[in-house]
Chain A
Amino acid sequence: MNRIRSAFRRFWPLYLLMIPIISYYAVYRFYPMFLQAVLAFKKYRLADGVWGSPWVGWHNFAELFSKADFVHVLGNTVVISLLRLLFGFFPPIILAIFLFDIHSKVFRRFTQTIMYIPHFFSWVIIYAITFAVFSESGIVNQMLKLMNSDTVSFLVSPEWFRPILVGTAIWKEIGWGTIIYLAALSSLDPAQFEAAKLDGAGPVRRIIHVTLPGIAPVVVFLFTLQIGGILYAGGEQVLLYYNPATYGVGDIIDTWIYRQGLGQLQYSIAVAMSLFQSLFGLLLVLTANAISKKRAGIGLW
């Protein structure tokens, strides 16, 4: 009792400051989580509000999983995420190794400065740049015209939607993606590189035997996280990039939730989808982590 009283005497200003902080967390962070869990099991009716609407058990999930939409949207999400992983995961690793290995410090600094910039641009700006390059009047079509070939409607074509979506995302993040690998590389012992050199190892052998093992933990760490995020295929970007002509190949879980929920006010089913997304994501991270721990001895925790 006395201990608490003396702690309070010392810390009371902090308890006072805690009030707005706890209120914020309670209202804007925890209450939405709670609402999510509730809404997923209710049939939300606008007139009755959240608490007046009836409980329906697993009905929302049953309805969600039986929708043709579900398979379609899930498929798009997974395909787009896998494309991102397949084409976007390794280039930053390679670039980081190159940046680490080149001799000229000035060149390295200059390249880094330029390559990091797009990371700080909003998706709207990136879309503007995409538009400048790929629209009917953009760079690529102007070049096609110069070569007397037909122009391509890249931005409204279902075949080009995914390559452009994934390509521009890689363009945005390729430079910034190197930063974590560069940090891992700079914490490696330089003596190892010297020793490899003395043993007569060329640059390729050095990469295979020193550099890659050195950054392997970071690579596995990021890969595991990416696997966990496979149902998150970049809603903000897709929302900007897709249009009626490309809905078929572009509609992903996040955009579906946005349209179902805020567009058509189907709160319950949208929330069920969102709960499925986050729980399945959690399951994926745990699985990927267990596998990487067992196979590579490296885990997230």
Chain B
Amino acid sequence: MYQGFAYTVLTVVTLASLIPLIYVVSMSLVNEKEWIERGGFILLPHSPTLLAYERLFKGDIFPHALIVSVIRTILGTALMLTMTTIAGYIVSRRALPGRRAMLFAVLITVLFNGGLIPTYLVVRDTHLLDSIWALVIPGLIDSWSVLVIKQFFENIPSELEESAQMDGAGEIVLMIRLMLPMSKPVIAAIGLFTAVFHWNSWFDALIYIKDPHLQPLQLIMRNMFANVNIGSQMNPSSVLNPTQRVSMESLKMAVAVVGTIPILCVYPFIQKHFTKGMFLGAVKG
């Protein structure tokens, strides 16, 4: 009885998670004729078409935004991982004078932040507005991840470290040759989450980037929902045949699909990590 109930509830929740996703994909694949005829309640398109995607990629705005998103994700993740790992290594060195002060500073920033406007003023005054760096530099180091990496480094047996030091390894060699390889899983996991974070971000671009050529995909998508004009340019008025036209709804859903594909691509890798429970360690930490 109880088992049956549990299975039913879980099935309902799973379907509720899944159906809207399928619907979004299906909507992106119909032309205007089918959309009008079938009244927009389409779980499986009868005559699927990639027309909406064609329209998106033919325009100027969308491919540009895609490139900005890719650059910010790669640049942001690479820099963040480098800096955060180094910071984690530094605060894990017990013998290092000054370590406690730095650890304290990191802890403070986990608990408090400067808030929207002061941060905006600093980004403005350091001349980052309207540049890709405005999307990368403010989040250069994630203090929480610093603590997670520190925890990992500290759990590496000190005998390994001592024997490396006997062989004459300095701090840099120790970090790169010993500590990094041993904590590859955490660093990979933090990297994946950071990449997802960068790909998904739009609010920082909303406040820091006014130049339309530097706006990432998520912001363009947000503008598309807030303001109809962007999408309507994508259906040339010369095309009258409804099988060759796509509805605004289909265009919007096509953008949403393109915005999720990278997430779904890295999802299996992310999943591999959270089954190992390292995030839980982090949460409990």
A interface with B by C-beta (< 8 Å): 4, 7, 10-11, 13-15, 17-18, 20-22, 24-25, 27-36, 39, 50, 94-95, 98-99, 101-103, 107, 110-111, 113-118, 120-125, 127-129, 131-133, 135, 137-139, 142-143, 145-146, 171, 174-175, 179-180, 183, 202-204, 236, 239-240, 254, 257-258, 261-262, 267, 270-271, 274-275, 278
Contacts and interface: CB of A to CB of B under 8 A. Distances in A.
B2 A121 contact: no
Contacts, number: 236
Which 10 residue pairs spanning A and B have beta carbons closest together?
A32-B114, A122-B200, A142-B41, A128-B256, A32-B118, A203-B2, A35-B118, A98-B6, A183-B280, A274-B115
Which residue among B41, B172, B253 has the maximum number of chain A CB atoms within 10 Å of its CB? Answer: B41
B274 interface: yes
B144 interface: no
A177 B162 CA distance: 41
A122 B218 contact: yes
Nearest to B111: A282
Contact of A30 (B105, B196, B283): B105
B249 A17 contact: no
B124 to A, nearest CB: 11
Contacts of A120: 196, 200, 263, 267, 270
Interface of B: 2-3, 6-7, 9-11, 13-14, 16-18, 20-21, 23-24, 27, 39-41, 83, 86-87, 89-90, 93, 95-98, 102, 105-106, 108-109, 112-123, 126, 137-138, 140-141, 170-172, 196, 199-203, 207, 218-219, 221-222, 225, 249, 252-253, 255-256, 259-260, 263-264, 267, 270-271, 274, 277, 279-280, 283
Contacts of B6: 98, 101-102
A200 B174 CA distance: 57
A108 B118 CA distance: 46
B115 A121 contact: no
Contact of B90 (A18, A133, A267): A18
A147 B97 CA distance: 73
B140 A28 contact: yes
17 contacts: A4-B97, A17-B86, A17-B90, A20-B83, A21-B141, A27-B122, A30-B105, A30-B114, A33-B114, A115-B13, A129-B21, A137-B40, A145-B39, A146-B41, A203-B3, A258-B116, A274-B115
Interface SS majority for chain B: helix
A106 B145 CA distance: 32
Contacts of B253: 128, 132
B9 A98 contact: yes
Contact of B14 (A7, A27, A115, A128): A115
Nearest to A104: B7
Which residue among A36, A101, A143 has the maximum number of chain B CB atoms within 10 Å of its CB? Answer: A36
Given A39-B118, A257-B116, A95 B13 contact: yes
Contacts of A202: 2
Which residue among A29, A203, A257, A267 has the maximum number of chain B CB atoms within 10 Å of its CB? Answer: A29
A36 B256 contact: no
Nearest to A115: B17
A127 B225 contact: yes
B118 A28 contact: no
A50 B118 CA distance: 10
B20 to A, nearest CB: 5
B95 A24 contact: no
Contact of B97 (A7, A35, A39, A117): A7
B147 to A, nearest CB: 14
A122 B225 CA distance: 14
A45 B154 CA distance: 49
A10 to B, nearest CB: 7
B14 A95 contact: no
A38 to B, nearest CB: 9
A157 to B, nearest CB: 17
